[in-house]
Amino acid sequence: MLSSEMENKVTQFVSIYEQIKSELGWGAPNKEIMMLVASMYVSSNQSFHLRRYITICESIKEQVGFFSTLKGYERYSIAALLDIHFDNPQHEFKTLTELYNKLIENGFQRGMFSYIAASVFLTNKSQFEYQDSSIERAHTIYKAMKQHHFFLTGQSDYPLAVLLSLRTGNIDSLMMLVESYYEQLHSLGFKKGNDLQFLSHILSLNCKEEGSKLTHQCMNIFEECNRIGLKLKPRHYPSIGIIALLNDQINIDELLELSENLSSVKAFRWQKDLIFMISVSFLASEFTDTSSITTAGIMTTVETLIQAQQATMVASMATVSASSSTSSDS
């Protein structure tokens, strides 16, 4: 049976989703984006005020250029992030834009993933002193990632490159650690690919646990989830990494119950993969105070995962839409 705290999270999640859907009507973003925005508030344990949120969304739309990715639905998650973290979100959006432009100047490509990467810097101000050198370090890490896995590494890896740049230490040593996780996990049965690379990057954010312990935790989590009926696929690897970083504090049976509870809501019935990730983020938010890594670190990772997943979905939908349009015209 779900705890009262978790039942409250489910209720809050459904309420936020319904408020956004009702307010925006036909102009609402797709279901996945509204679910992801709602989960950001719930996972961050922040209250949601509809009018304030809508005002931030509209402010962002007015401030960006005609061809900016934030003219589209991507602005909804950026608005949520600013609302969650800052008392003056409109002011902080200007800072976010400055960080975004610095990322572009240093070799990152324009697009949603660069905005997400900029938001990692914005919400972790206390962890870096020299903005320019931090951005240079992030791009160096990204280039090293691409050198190791040229065909797997792309713009979706920008946020993780920034997260990794917040770790101290030699970049070559860090990339050796990432590669070690990648090979260890593959030897344990994880399939090679972008999802496994994502997982290996997440595990590399850890500074305390031994590598072999974390990889075996991932294997145990994967097997336990499949044993109780949560049939996991490679796309779930990043969420497995979050559970592993929490050092077994997430109860897999509770994860199953929470996923089933959310999936029973009619609006979310066909979103099981997304529900799994959201369920992990809800449970993670309950245990960050006692985690072996800092609250800020784990929640930044969860938040980044959620936003990166959203951006990937938007890109996928755009590709499918363009493909369908081309087929219709031919």
Q: What are phi and psi of 291, to 5 degrees?
A: -70, 160
Q: Which of 17-26, 29-38, 118-127, 237-246 has the lowest mean pLDDT?
A: 118-127
Q: What is the pLDDT of residues 146-200, one digit of tens each?
A: 999 999 999 988 988 998 888 888 999 999 999 999 999 999 999 999 899 989 9
Assign 222 a pLDDT band (cuts: 50, 70, 90): very high
- The candidate with the shortest Cα–Cα distance to 272, out of 323, 230, 222, 318, is 230
Assign 128 a pLDDT band (cuts: 50, 70, 90): low
User: What value does the CA radius of gyration of the chain take, rounded to a whole number of Å?
Assistant: 19
DSSP 246: T
State pTM to two decimals: 0.88
Contact (Cβ atoms closer than 8 angstroms) between residue 145 and residue 157: yes
If DSSP codes are grouped into helix, strand and coil, which group holds residue 144?
helix
Q: What is the rounded CA–CA span in Å between residue 260 and residue 254?
A: 10
Q: What is the pLDDT of residues 269-290, one digit of tens each?
A: 888 888 998 999 898 887 655 3
Q: What is the pLDDT of residues 154-168, one digit of tens each?
A: 998 898 899 888 888
